[in-house]
Structure 1
Amino acid sequence: MANPLLLGFTALLLILADASSPSAADSIHDLLRAYGLPGGLLPREVEYYSLDRASGDLEVRIGRPCYAEFDGTVLFDRVVRANLTYGGLRSLVGVTQEELFLWLPVREIVVSDPASGVILFDIGLAHKRISLSLFEFPPECTPGDDGGWLSGARDG
């Protein structure tokens, strides 16, 4: 007969592992869709992600900083962090968007009404309304600058 304490501990470890790490079959793009967001918000070059399903804390790792084109140029840092909620990436860190020659941090991405066909980007100074159709497929990223001048812009 197995030790009940050992069985309980093993079950707890399995539950915790399931809560904090994605299934190998899941992609970050599928995860975004499951949370009511378009799958193309993050680039194809995502190497790894982790999600704490209890808190919504999401961490996405990309091999190197890279640029993607949507409604304008977006820079993804090596690590992107956010709080994932249904229809939103909140407290976003690691994504900046070029606006009028300035790099502004994207603080939040929200789809409040999918029927509207619009996604909302909070870039601090303004809220941008962008067509959801631009985010249907994950973009291909071009390598970005790993230099210091951008880190100041990304930090806000």
Structure 2
Amino acid sequence: MATLHRGFSPSSFLLLLLLLLVSSSSASPVHEILTKYGFPPGLLPDAAKHYVLSPHGDFVVELGNPCYVKFTDLVYYEKTIKGKLEFGQISDLSGIQVKKLFAWLPITGIVAPPNKGNVEFQVGFLSEVFPVKMFEQIPSCRAKAGSSCRGAESLFISEVFLPFP
């Protein structure tokens, strides 16, 4: 029987490789709950691993650290994201901000109408609609976003343009 380096047989190596592929391609429970409620999994970054969901739909998602994701706009995810989850709708959302021109605006709600193929992001009474295919893949987080960072890196910009943390 042929063996590979360090005593692995070809069949054990193949099994190990298969397990690695399956584990790296599957979504985390946080992303699976999004799809269960009618949302694409890519609304939250790969850093979102832990969540609590109450029977009434109130949720808390914890990230390892705050981070940025570039979609069509730059999006900032705080370490803690909270809101209320119903099928096709997230309301009372806090912890996600989008950069529009020179200001960071809080995303307050997200709506994914069934069979419409789009996702609507709400910022107060304003909203913007994007195709659902933009959020099918789970995005990777970046710790920094250059000169457009939130937090300590851009304290001056935040103080001037944002009245909220």
TM range (shorter): 0.7 to 0.9
Percent identity at matched positions? 31
Deviations 1:62-120 (A, max 9, x none): 111100012211000000001011001110000000111210000000012x3221110
Larger Rg: 2
Q: Is the 8 A contact 2:28 2:49 kept in 1?
A: no
Secondary structure of 1:64 counterpart? coil
| Residue matched to 1:122 | 122
**Contiguous gaps of at least 5 residues in structure 2:** 1-26, 145-149
Is the contact made by 2:30 and 2:49 (CA closer than 8 Å) also made in structure 1? Answer: no
- C-alpha displacement at 1:26, in angstroms? 6.0
Q: What whole-Å deviation, never above 9, does each CA across 1:2-29 have from its counterpart, x for those lacking one?
A: xxxxxxxxxxxxxxxxxxxxxxx96111
The TM-score with structure 1 as length reference comes to 0.75
Q: 1:44 aligns with which of 32, 43, 46?
A: 46
Task: Report the Cα distance in structure 2 between the residues aligned to 1:123 and 1:56, rounded to whole angstroms.
Answer: 21
Q: Which region of structure 1 is more displaced relative to structure 2, 25-34 or 84-93?
A: 25-34
TM-score when normalising by structure 2: 0.71
**In 2 relative to 1, CA 132–154 (structure 1 residues): closer, same or farther, beyond 3 Å?**
farther
Q: Does 1:138 align with 2:138?
A: yes
Which one has more relative contact order, counting CA pairs under 8 Å at least 6 apart?
Answer: 1
Contact 1:96/1:154 (CA < 8 Å) preserved in 2? no
Matches within 5 A, 1:4-153: 27-52=29-54, 54-112=55-113, 114-124=114-124, 126-144=126-144, 145-147=150-152, 149=155, 150=158, 153=162
Confirm or deny: 8 A CA contact 1:104 1:124 kept in the other structure. no
Gaps of 5+ in 1: 1-24
